[in-house]
Structure 1
């Protein structure tokens, strides 16, 4: 998706950017997740995106397993896979950040729980003690090769 790769990075953020880091990518995923958009023409109309860019992004999503191409009564559909639906938390987290730092008039969109009127937000929680965490430290994970670990993220 991006014009360059992050081959020298051993980092899940960099690897994620390879798949969803282009500016249109998360907007396409947003429309698929929260608006139920599945058709090429609907993505194009709602986003105002050029057909060649949209084609490239959708083809890339299929190649990386974020979407699969299905067929409906009105033609081809682009359907999110489990991998694509797992980006829901990423989009909610970006929305929370944007609501705090880039929405001077207040949140333009509020995500709500589908079972009640409660609002949905991202939250960092410790998987050991369950505490709400506002800070976190990075440490070496099992996917970090010995020869790459310097004791810090680089």
Structure 2
């Protein structure tokens, strides 16, 4: 009888530790999924900005910084239960002001923030835009 009791207790410890490990692994997988999704959103928004002409970017740089771009989640078809807590912001910095003999230059820093289990996380990317660069010749004036 004692052997059965000891075996049952040991089996209980094994099962409980397995469930704990499984629960932790689900948390790690969820975090990896959220980081991947945040990176995909950053890349999509950045590519959308690269297809705009410089005057639109300059207008964004004139706004109060950082510019809230959370509405992009719905226009870029990223709206889901996973992205409901995401916030996207862009900070435009004018490096060189546009002039008659000098093309302008901007830097844009995109940041995605979200919260998981009470802990804040964020991912960010930075790029440069130049006036009379590719963005003035390749322009998308329509939305898919």
Scaled by the length of structure 2, what TM-score is found?
0.21
**Normalized per residue, which structure has more strand?**
2
Question: Which has the greater radius of gyration?
Answer: 2
Structure whose residues are more often helix by fraction: 2
